[in-house]
Structure 1
Amino acid sequence: MALTAPSRTSPARARRDADGMAVASFVLGLIGLLLFNAVFGPCAIVLGTLAIARDTRRRGRALLGLTLGIADVVLLIVLLTLNHSVFWQFGG
Structure 2
Amino acid sequence: MQLTAPATRRTAARDADGMAVASFILGLLGLLVLNLFLGPIAIALAGVALWRGTTRPGRAYLGLGLGIADLLVLLAFMQADNTVSWSF
TM-score, normalised by the number of residues in structure 1: 0.85
Matched with 1:18 is 16
Letter in 2 for 1:87: W
Letter in 1 for 2:87: W
1:49-74 alpha-carbon deviations (Å, 9 max, x no partner): 11011110010000000000000011
Letter in 2 for 1:88: S
When Rg is computed on C-alpha atoms for both structures, the one with the higher figure is: 1
Shift of 1:87: 1.3
Matched with 2:58 is 60
Shift of 1:15: 0.4
Give 3-state SS (helix, strand or coil) of 1:10's partner: helix
Shift of 1:23: 0.2
Give 3-state SS (helix, strand or coil) of 1:80's partner: helix
Alignment of 1:21-40 (within 5 A): 21-40=19-38
Tell me how far apart the structure 1 counterparts of residues 73 and 17 of structure 2 sit (CA, whole Å): 27
Shift of 1:84: 1.5
Structure whose residues are more often helix by fraction: 2
Q: Any gaps of 5 or more consecutive residues in structure 1? A: 1-5
The reply on whether 1:87 has 2:56 as its aligned counterpart is: no
Q: Any gaps of 5 or more consecutive residues in structure 2? A: none
TM-score, normalised by the number of residues in structure 2: 0.88
Indicate the percent of aligned positions where both proteins have the same amino acid. Answer: 48
Letter in 1 for 2:9: P
